[in-house]
Structure 1
């Protein structure tokens, strides 16, 4: 089921830094009451570094539409979410308007794509023959841009930290096309804003809120029926110092731009998408999860695809196997039953020469497994299980134990801390035994009672579990650091565009932690000491495990505190492999203990394991999850009613209905003659006027924040229920 959902997000007009990027000089003058000289001057130069020829690798959080996406994107204004909130205003595009961003998104359709060069350098945006210098440096270079090209003016000399050989990507656009697609100087201030939202239902984060800068395009794809060439390409470009070359509000070329010129712009990101009738928008992707070749009804639990055998057939096959009359049909039933239980058959290299095939199942299983009492194992082989009827090992828990030991050895901080703690425990036990022997020899304890009484009291308390050990084990219990191949041993268990629910096998976790704890274990006495120490460590790690998420919702704090160090009774979750993860990195997830969504579960871990795989763990049995379109990534756009493009106004004054669409508030937006480029400033004035005259909302000033609220599309929530 999909429906609109309220989510908190705040919109801010801009984040202009106190000093924009560039080189500065501070001049201090001191005047004295004396004869000549009566004044002294001191100067200090400094630089405010900032991106110019390329952005940092993590500056771009996401783009929309997603790269290579196919969907009904008619009316959708492409956007880029940036990690640094001040980035769009760190440089100047229009000298007379400091709120105008220097970054812009240009969108092209069909064969109108500009030429993109990704192997250029800084000198390629300077005219050929011009000497490119660096402020306060002897570095120089020669411009290479051919005659007839125009680019960013007033960038010579380069700023401190820049060089003529800095890598630079750029696009070349004919002047008429540039004027057609580029925002005007009046449009730019409305095409960037800040969004702030909480992170409670997103991936694990150190912060409880996140802010990002949003840059919007001023164009959109047309409806498919009106534009047969559906391929679109978007470019995040620099408009630094380009104010005098920008077109008019209706796309009229600037008189300062020669009509036959080629405009060269620095480009930071380029991506393609297609506006068609395929289902790769947020809602469509959610509803297409788990669709196999035959449509809906695919697997929903984490296991290999196999037809589930009838219980009677499994019982018959087991009976025939025990009697030694197993048929091919019986073998097929047992194999399919094993696959349905989450197992897969893997090559097994034995310790002695030889190989075999063994069953293996990771900790994420398609059914609930009852925890059993666990002691300690001397080695991984002790946890191998052998079926003499089939001649196959079950290496599940043996592999978990071995993996835990390897992970512990791979962590010097944990292994050293564990070794020292075990040594202190051993010394404490030895001292206790010594004290018991002394008390036995002293009889009534009349010799030096004060000294021995104090010593006995001090030795009653053995060293507690160090916090760094408890925290490391807590992370291990949440599968942090466990290789993905151990969680999902076969790719067919988690195909593309799939959502797979699971139960966490606490017996697998116990073997994993025991393997990690086995470092330094020697002899029967060492094993016995480890039994007690391991129990204490599990207890100490439980509280830490529940507090691993720093962005836990405040209303869950009391629940987490009440659970304290109690062992997990049930942990469930899901794996999501989809374009949803890569296209919407701020995806919001909630888990519920009922199918009505009344009782939410405590999230233990939300983490992206790769670009398109998300792992979620909940304490308790999940019966339903909701996947929300993230508010920070809600796209802006317009609607096509068959004759014109429109938008529906939202309430900007009533706190109870803030952001809600207003009945009867649909208005036509101002569009350039090409029919797909928004006259942004004119539309902003139209919206401001209609809010005042039609609804009594006098919004002044009307900034990019208000404009974004009015143009943003509704959020989507999709529910998945566990049957």
Structure 2
């Protein structure tokens, strides 16, 4: 099936074996010189009895893909035949309506049918006097229903038959008017194969690869009655298994089963497996009506309105997609901070989706403060912490990440060439062993600084740290590879930050003396590490070092990294790049032993870890409240365009990848491996739906921005299997769909690779409707299609209108009577019209129920929406 051939109609899809009892017999013969040896009848034979189970009395809700009109729908349905789409393509042929059991195995007669009644034809009060003329709904046990003549399941256990089922008891005159005839059942049921390229992930995942494209197979059952205007219609999916003699005949009478001596019953009972209602009126009823006429659906970017906001700072935050949110600190203090979801109204400054830069190593480091408005921005801190919590909740993945990092660290230890490091120094032990000793000394020194007497003891504590550390520097670190030294310094520095953070939580910042002493303590820590870097690493560029700091801003114990402007952020990114690069040099360069066979950087990433990161990159598993923090961002009957924030995604992944990190060295080694993890997970994320190159699609480029839409509309619920396609600059430049998933009732998200310019929203292909183009006075009009894929006389984009008079179209036509279609007449009229219109009265038309369904379908509605507010 090519991309353009989005739907294929098939006559039927029978199961390998229909439901029921079977006997399998084998017989062995022995021949000698073409003479069959005669054996006793019992010898050489083997008989096996088995059964194929189905369910005559209940329908798994998961088998129902969609109904049309939608359940509880309200719209213009008077020219549409109600139908149901089933996910299980073989279901209509698992049993048969044939009465004679010997015919059922080979029969292509389905056992399911749709019957449409008006609401006033259904009994509302079980004890009412007029119930004899109405349809009565009941819930008997399966055993009781079998006694009513609805059919029998010989494979069902007696205990299971104690469960209830749903039945309708119908007067015979209503059966005659509304039930399909036996000959019509075949023409009312068929199979549809559709492309899943533009469908939700859940449908696309179930697709089967066919001719280079994923397709899904559904069965479709249409009703035989057009709904009445200004009326609530009730549709029943009824079981007709073995009930052919109870169905109307062409003469309009209902027959009695042969062999019966009972008086003709006035009512018959049928099991129904599904029921739904809808209302028909001259109002909205098409996807185009829902979308195009809603004023709120004017496309907009994903942000709160800010037109009436006068404060320039607040206006800027709202325009950038932020919302004010409640923020609770670790000490249970409450404040209002800015938060923005990963969906932003402008193109992210992050270079691309596959960025290998690490932005943050903790939620505190990711918290920003804007002194102009006096508020924190917790966007990236929330993303970082969320990534960590989601990964910790998945014990299998968190364990694999931890073990992967442990293996990396062990490889690093084995690959350090100690002899080479000792060549220009007096070092007599492993740098890692030395590292552990100094960290222990620093811990002891910090713990000796009592918080309650900070002012007097902070200098003493710092003197202890400085003397031990600088002493170790002068004796042990001079001359060693600068990358190793720098990593060790990073570890000490990180430790100092963490220990100082703990110290800061106990400080009384209302005490001016304690606050001043604490700030002096922080400044000294910063200076000693900065000076140490300059002294030991003279070749390191100053610009990579001058902003290496974690200045702790005391705010009731909450420590924040303050990046005041874009230059601060840029230099912070530069430093992260520097750390990763120098670690790579240290692990893969001169400090590696030439004798080692174990690689330090593992290139084989566990596929489960890759998949976990890939899912996170597509926001899978991210709680809805993080994606849509306020429904005001996407009100009902609206569509919002957005870009994916690369920094938010990186913070999320940094948090997820933080499992097992305890020192700066751990984090740096993990960042080295993260290059491979991120690239593999990005590829997996982009290829998740596109297992094969898509015909006519540009190749997915991971350096393209990720953009998308949020649609909050009734159509999301009313049209399961909705199809949404994204385009760049033209209708021919189709963007690969990365994710399409329903987030909650009425809300669906789509992510595309590339910069979105417009979207096309279309009714589900598998749910394409049956019916008539229109009706005028005494005729109904059908739009005929060329079965050969061409238009009459070579014309393009034209169909032949076939007008059918009501007297030929409907059973027992009356002006104000029910419009039940005489399918025996209609199929013959369509066949003749198609041959005359497309085959010049010649032969060669293979007319069957699939071809009939093609002629009965109505044109699908498609809405193209241009992005206007970029």
Instruction: Name the TM-score class by shorter chain.
Output: 0.7 to 0.9
Q: Over residues 530-576 of structure 1, what are the superposed CA-to-partner deviations in whole Å (9 max), with x where a residue is unaligned?
A: 3323333222322222111146652367713xx4xx5x441110112
CA 1:678/1:355 → structure 2, altered by over 3 Å: closer, same or farther?
same
Is 1:642 aligned to residue 621 of structure 2?
Answer: no
Give the match for residue 122 of structure 1: 142
- Give distance in 2, aligned partners of 1:61 and 1:553: 28
- Give distance in 2, aligned partners of 1:156 and 1:421: 55
Is 1:238 aligned to residue 375 of structure 2?
Answer: no
Give the match for residue 303 of structure 1: 303
Is 1:589 aligned to residue 724 of structure 2?
Answer: yes
- Give distance in 2, aligned partners of 1:279 and 1:553: 39
Give the Å deviation of 1:26.
2.2
Listed as ranges, the matches of 1:233-272 within 5 Å are 233-249=234-250, 251-255=252-256, 261-272=266-277
CA 1:356/1:654 → structure 2, altered by over 3 Å: closer, same or farther?
closer
Indicate the SS of the match to 2:717.
Answer: helix
Question: Which is worse superposed, 679-688 or 165-174?
Answer: 165-174
Give the Å deviation of 1:177.
1.1
CA 1:558/1:572 → structure 2, altered by over 3 Å: closer, same or farther?
closer
Rg larger for: 2
- Give distance in 2, aligned partners of 1:676 and 1:235: 17
CA 1:258/1:651 → structure 2, altered by over 3 Å: closer, same or farther?
farther
Indicate the SS of the match to 2:733.
Answer: coil
Give the Å deviation of 1:117.
4.5
Indicate the SS of the match to 1:164.
Answer: helix
Residue ranges of structure 1 left out of the alignment (5+ in a row): 128-144, 146-150, 319-333, 443-451
- Give distance in 1, aligned partners of 2:288 and 2:656: 43
CA 1:484/1:548 → structure 2, altered by over 3 Å: closer, same or farther?
same
Listed as ranges, the matches of 1:529-568 within 5 Å are 529-550=669-690, 554-555=694-695, 559-560=699-700, 563=701, 566=702, 568=703
Report if the CA contact (8 A) 1:184-1:251 is conserved.
no
TM-score, reference length from structure 2: 0.70
Compute the RMSD of aligned alpha carbons: 3.1
Q: 1:394 aligns with which of 371, 377, 380?
A: 377
Give the match for residue 381 of structure 1: 364
Give the match for residue 691 of structure 1: 834
Give the Å deviation of 1:79.
0.7
Q: Over residues 239-276 of structure 1, what are the superposed CA-to-partner deviations in whole Å (9 max), with x where a residue is unaligned?
A: 11110010123644335597762222111111111111
Indicate the SS of the match to 1:81.
Answer: strand
Q: 1:414 aligns with which of 397, 415, 418?
A: 397
Give the Å deviation of 1:199.
1.2
Q: 1:25 aligns with which of 23, 26, 44?
A: 23
Q: 1:182 aligns with which of 176, 179, 182?
A: 179
Listed as ranges, the matches of 1:134-213 within 5 Å are 151-153=149-151, 155=152, 157=154, 159=156, 163-204=160-201, 205-206=204-205, 207=207, 208-213=214-219
- Give distance in 2, aligned partners of 1:460 and 1:122: 67
- Give distance in 2, aligned partners of 1:491 and 1:177: 48
TM-score, reference length from structure 1: 0.83
Question: Which is worse superposed, 366-375 or 415-424?
Answer: 366-375
- Give distance in 2, aligned partners of 1:265 and 1:36: 51
- Give distance in 1, aligned partners of 2:200 and 2:220: 20
Q: Over residues 664-687 of structure 1, what are the superposed CA-to-partner deviations in whole Å (9 max), with x where a residue is unaligned?
A: 544446211245111112211121
Give the match for residue 226 of structure 2: 220
Question: How many aligned residue pairs are there?
Answer: 651
- Give distance in 2, aligned partners of 1:188 and 1:251: 16
Q: 1:347 aligns with which of 323, 326, 333?
A: 326
Q: Over residues 389-411 of structure 1, what are the superposed CA-to-partner deviations in whole Å (9 max), with x where a residue is unaligned?
A: 44322211111000000111112
CA 1:717/1:474 → structure 2, altered by over 3 Å: closer, same or farther?
same
**Quick check: which one's strand share is greater?**
1
- Give distance in 1, aligned partners of 2:765 and 2:375: 51
- Give distance in 2, aligned partners of 1:219 and 1:670: 11
Give the match for residue 758 of structure 2: 624
Give the match for residue 13 of structure 1: 11
CA 1:118/1:378 → structure 2, altered by over 3 Å: closer, same or farther?
farther
Is 1:363 aligned to residue 342 of structure 2?
Answer: yes
Give the Å deviation of 1:518.
0.9
Q: Over residues 554-601 of structure 1, what are the superposed CA-to-partner deviations in whole Å (9 max), with x where a residue is unaligned?
A: 2367713xx4xx5x441110112223222322222211112x413221
- Give distance in 1, aligned partners of 2:844 and 2:25: 42
- Give distance in 1, aligned partners of 2:293 and 2:419: 69
Give the Å deviation of 1:506.
0.7
Indicate the SS of the match to 2:784.
Answer: strand
Question: Which is worse superposed, 640-649 or 709-718?
Answer: 640-649
Give the Å deviation of 1:221.
1.1
Give the match for residue 47 of structure 2: 43
Q: 2:613 aligns with which of 462, 467, 473?
A: 473
Give the Å deviation of 1:481.
0.9
Report if the CA contact (8 A) 1:688-1:698 is conserved.
no
Question: Which is worse superposed, 391-400 or 457-466?
Answer: 457-466
- Give distance in 1, aligned partners of 2:215 and 2:179: 33
Listed as ranges, the matches of 1:667-678 within 5 Å are 667-668=804-805, 670-673=809-812, 674-678=817-821
Give the Å deviation of 1:646.
3.0
- Give distance in 2, aligned partners of 1:209 and 1:162: 40
Report if the CA contact (8 A) 1:521-1:527 is conserved.
yes
Q: Over residues 422-459 of structure 1, what are the superposed CA-to-partner deviations in whole Å (9 max), with x where a residue is unaligned?
A: 112212222232356378499xxxxxxxxx99944635
Give the Å deviation of 1:363.
0.4
Give the match for residue 863 of structure 2: 718
Give the Å deviation of 1:353.
3.1
- Give distance in 1, aligned partners of 2:653 and 2:789: 54
CA 1:548/1:516 → structure 2, altered by over 3 Å: closer, same or farther?
same
CA 1:219/1:259 → structure 2, altered by over 3 Å: closer, same or farther?
farther
- Give distance in 2, aligned partners of 1:36 and 1:501: 80
Q: 1:707 aligns with which of 842, 852, 855?
A: 852
Is 1:67 aligned to residue 71 of structure 2?
Answer: yes
